[in-house]
Amino acid sequence: MPAGMSLLLLVAGLLLAVGLPVLCRLFWVRVDYVLTNHRIYWRGGLLRDRCASRELADLVDFSVDRHGPQLATVSLRFGYERRLLRLFCLEHPETLTILFKPQPGHGKERG
């Protein structure tokens, strides 16, 4: 393998190993969620702030990916949207998911 290719792989590895966790941390600090009994609001973004909200009545499906006994990521799907709203690393996610009333047969828990 040429020396230039080795150096490129080393730099790419360092960027992924160090840069990705830093990038995720910067994003995580700028994310806020607010849940009412009718709507969910969220705000976040790295370069620009994005704000949005959805009616809980439009919730079609959700899943809970457990990371531990009291920690999980909750994924929400609203209406016919392809993209999921992911609420990462929530403590005590059951306090959130108890308000979700998706269509019968939906709502999965993994892990």
* Tens of pLDDT, residues 12-46: 888 878 777 777 666 667 788 888 888 999 888 77
Give me 83's structure tokens. 């993209």
Q: Which 8-state DSSP code applies to residue 45? A: -
User: Bigger pLDDT: 78 or 2?
Assistant: 78
Would you say 42 and 32 are in contact if contact means Cβ atoms under 8 Å apart? yes
- In contact, 53 and 39? CB cutoff 8 Å: yes
State how far the alpha carbon of 15 is from the alpha carbons of 4, 19, 20, 103, in Å. 16, 5, 7, 43
Tell me which residue of 30, 46, 108 sits closest to 75, measured CA to CA. 108
Model pLDDT, residue 56:
87
pTM above threshold 0.85: no
In angstroms, rounded to a whole number, what is the distance separating the alpha carbons of residues 100 and 84? 15
Percent of the chain with pLDDT over 70: 83
What pLDDT, on a 0 to 100 scale, did the predictor assign at position 64? 92
Q: How many Å is the Cα radius of gyration of the chain?
A: 18
